[in-house]
């Protein structure tokens, strides 16, 4: 267990309300969620018996302005009004720590997760304090990243490796994609095979708008082949050059990021994490700047839904 920080867990007894959806809604009505999140970083609501048919009202209270998952790179399915499966990444793998859409020009300030079905084993959502993650990295790495990160996406047009641009931008209209990208400080190119290449330079760290805390805030390790493990990195290198992969990353000036740096970022983020174990009906809301999140491997069916807001 992380000795420096853990999420705040709230149950009906702590909230002094009945164990029901209405009890939770009443509690949330008198709560400044934003202020509490800035202080606690993550809140876990447990024991309120929330079911899928009552989830919409609770998410409306936690997320006042739900956002679509546009320009996201995680494999997800939309299951409701800006409500998604948390990920469809194979269950046997760990998803390393990251802040949602930290590679994008805009990101949600708040995420809410709902456990519709807890797995048989494993499947925790690890959370990492971004200040501690930044401090855990070697000084030479932090200095090299001070100029920012350059991300590249190769999105296919309907068939190929990785995600399609239609799925990524939730549209079949190229004009809508270009309109979105024009506001993102990105460069892009439509390819002859119907695919789309997008490049963007983003900061490696970010300061929280309320607390002023500087946090590690990028996805360099997840976009780097080495972050996937030695065997996967070697296999990808045999298939195609890095710049043609579905996603790749360099330093802002185009200099390559050493593989051991990507591994350091990944491993130290996970080492600093606190695992939130899921029980069916649990809810969790996190400040997407102050903490990164991931996923542990699991067995048995697992269904965790996610929504996000500004």
Q: Hey, CA dihedral for 256, 260, 261, 263, is it positive or negative?
A: positive
pLDDT at 234: 58
Q: What is the mean pLDDT of residues 218-230?
A: 85
Those residues whose C-beta lies under 8 Å from the C-beta of residue 219, and which sit 6 or more positions away, are: 98, 99, 102, 103, 151, 249
pLDDT bracket for residue 310 (50, 70, 90)? confident
pLDDT the model gives residue 73: 55
Which carries the bigger pLDDT value, residue 87 or residue 161?
161
Q: What is the chain's mean pLDDT, rounded?
A: 91
C-alpha–C-alpha distance, residues 177 and 197, integer Å: 12
Angle subtended at Cα 241 by Cα 237 and Cα 242, rounded to the nearest 5 degrees: 85
Distance CA 57, CA 54 (A): 6
Q: Residues 225, 242: contact at Cβ < 8 Å?
A: yes
* pLDDT given at position 242: 73
pTM for the model stands at: 0.90
- List phi, psi (to 5°) of 127: -125, 140
CA distance 235 to 215: 33
How many degrees, rounded to 5, is the angle at CA 134 between CA 132 and CA 137?
110
Where does residue 170 fall: left (phi above 0), alpha (psi -120 to 50 degrees), or beta otherwise?
Answer: left
Residue 47 zone, left/alpha/beta (φ > 0; ψ -120 to 50; rest): left
74-105 pLDDT, tens digit each:
555 767 677 888 777 889 999 999 999 999 98
What is the dihedral sign for C-alpha 129, 134, 135, 138?
positive
Distance in angstroms (rounded) separating the CA atoms of residues 202 and 152: 11
Tell me the C-alpha distance between 176 and 186, whole Å.
Answer: 15
Q: Which of 218, 236, 62 is nearest to 134 (CA)?
A: 218
297 touches 20 (CB < 8 A): no
> What local confidence, expressed as pLDDT, does residue 4 receive?
72
**Quick one: average pLDDT of 9-35?**
96
Q: Looking at residues 149-171, what average pLDDT do you find?
A: 92
Number of Cβ atoms within 10 Å of the Cβ of 75: 13
Please report the pLDDT score of residue 241 as a whole number.
73
């Amino acid at each position: 267990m992380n000795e420096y920080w853990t999420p705040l867990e709230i149950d009906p007894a702590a909230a002094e309300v009945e164990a029901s959806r209405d009890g939770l809604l009443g509690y949330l009505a008198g709560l400044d969620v934003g202020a509490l999140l800035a202080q606690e970083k993550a809140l876990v609501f447990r024991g309120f018996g929330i079911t899928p048919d009552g989830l919409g009202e609770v998410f409306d209270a936690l997320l006042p302005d739900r956002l679509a998952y546009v320009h996201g790179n995680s494999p997800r399915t939309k299951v409701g009004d800006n409500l998604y499966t948390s990920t469809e990444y194979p269950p046997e793998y760990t998803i390393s720590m990251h802040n949602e859409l930290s590679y994008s020009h805009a990101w949600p300030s708040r995420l809410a997760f709902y456990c519709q079905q807890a797995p048989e084993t494993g499947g925790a959502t690890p959370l990492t304090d971004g200040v501690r993650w930044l401090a855990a990295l070697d000084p030479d790495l932090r200095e090299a990243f001070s100029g920012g990160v350059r991300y590249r996406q190769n999105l296919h047009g309907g068939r190929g490796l990785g995600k399609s641009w239609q799925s990524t931008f939730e549209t079949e209209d190229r004009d809508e994609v270009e309109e979105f990208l024009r506001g993102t400080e990105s460069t892009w190119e439509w390819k002859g095979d119907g695919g789309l290449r997008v490049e963007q330079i983003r900061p490696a760290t970010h300061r929280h708008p309320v607390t002023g805390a500087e946090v590690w805030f990028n996805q360099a390790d997840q976009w780097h082949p080495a972050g996937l493990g030695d065997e996967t990195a070697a296999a990808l290198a045999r298939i195609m050059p890095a710049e043609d992969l579905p996603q790749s990353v360099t330093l802002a000036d185009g200099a390559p990021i050493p593989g051991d740096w990507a591994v350091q970022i990944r491993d130290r983020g996970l080492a600093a994490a606190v695992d939130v174990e899921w029980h069916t009906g649990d809810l969790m809301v996190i400040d997407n700047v102050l903490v990164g999140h991931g996923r542990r491997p699991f067995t048995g069916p697992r269904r965790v839904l996610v929504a996000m807001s500004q």
